[in-house]
Amino acid sequence: MAKGFFITFEGGEGAGKSTQIARLAAKLRAKKYDVVVTREPGGSPGAEAVRHVLLSGAAEPFGPGMEALLFAAARSDHVEQVIRPAVDRGAIVLCDRFMDSSRVYQGVTGGLDPAFMRALERVAVNGMVPDRTLILDLDAEEGLRRAGDRRGAGDAPDRYEKETLAVHQRRRDAFLAIAAAEPERCIVIDASGDMGVVEDRVTAAIFAALEVKLPARGRRQATPA
Ligand code: TYD
């Protein structure tokens, strides 16, 4: 069966994930790869319906367990409706946040039971584990500053941006701990400094990974024409 490549981008607020994904997608498309760009929470009609409930803070009063279940419901729909079909047809999927965000935001800083989180992950991901995960690593204070600049003066921070600096620092540490535990899947990218320099780091990491993985699977649609 034709098989593409599933890449997720993770990291704290303001790390520049969406900018880097857009630039990488353009580069891959220029090389004639079939590329699907998507994001979480959301990415499919069902998951986008849940996104607003989560990011507006409407689910917050019901506790982190409820939020984790909603993230998992959204992820399950996204995986089955969008990600798996795209990978099966041979596309490269670039996804802005995925299961590691749940591990970190709900599991670590949400304080949920690790066994509960593992069970939810297993159901939501249903075997669709990323081939590679790029963790864009940035000082938490700098990330919050960038997220604030991006938002502009008038707009309020969302449900997760509004949390304290200490919480964001714990999240950074938790992402780095995941990378250390799963070095074959995860690549830590230094997201500090100029966006063009970060872009070069992302490009180098992804093109190296594509070289290694796609020939081994018998390149099909994910091969440049
Ligand atoms: P979004 O506006 O997409 O921002 P960002 O640019 O930071 O990705 O917001 C997504 C928010 O949802 C972000 O604060 C992280 C949070 N989140 C979780 O808490 N758990 C999850 O599983 C996912 C996918 C996201």
pLDDT digits (tens, 9 = 90+) for 37-50: 999 999 999 999 99
DSSP 219: -
Whether 102 is in the pocket of ligand 1, judged by its Cβ within 6 Å, is yes
Domain ranges of the chain: 5-214
Check: CB of residue 203 under 8 Å from CB of residue 21.
no
Nearest atom in ligand 1 to the alpha carbon of residue 97 is 24
Q: Where is 7: in which H helix or E strand?
A: strand 5-11
Check: CB of residue 72 under 8 Å from CB of residue 120.
yes
- For residue 148, the one-letter residue type is G
Whether 76 is in the pocket of ligand 1, judged by its Cβ within 6 Å, is no
CATH number attached to the domain at 5-214: 3.40.50.300
pLDDT digits (tens, 9 = 90+) for 162-175: 889 999 999 999 99
pLDDT digits (tens, 9 = 90+) for 96-137: 999 999 999 999 999 999 999 999 999 999 999 999 999 999
User: What predicted TM-score, i.e. pTM, was given to this entire model?
Assistant: 0.93
- Most informative mutation of 125, 160, 161, 167 for ligand 1 (most atoms within 8 A of CB): 160
| Rounded mean pLDDT, 147-157 | 86
| Rounded mean pLDDT, 40-65 | 96
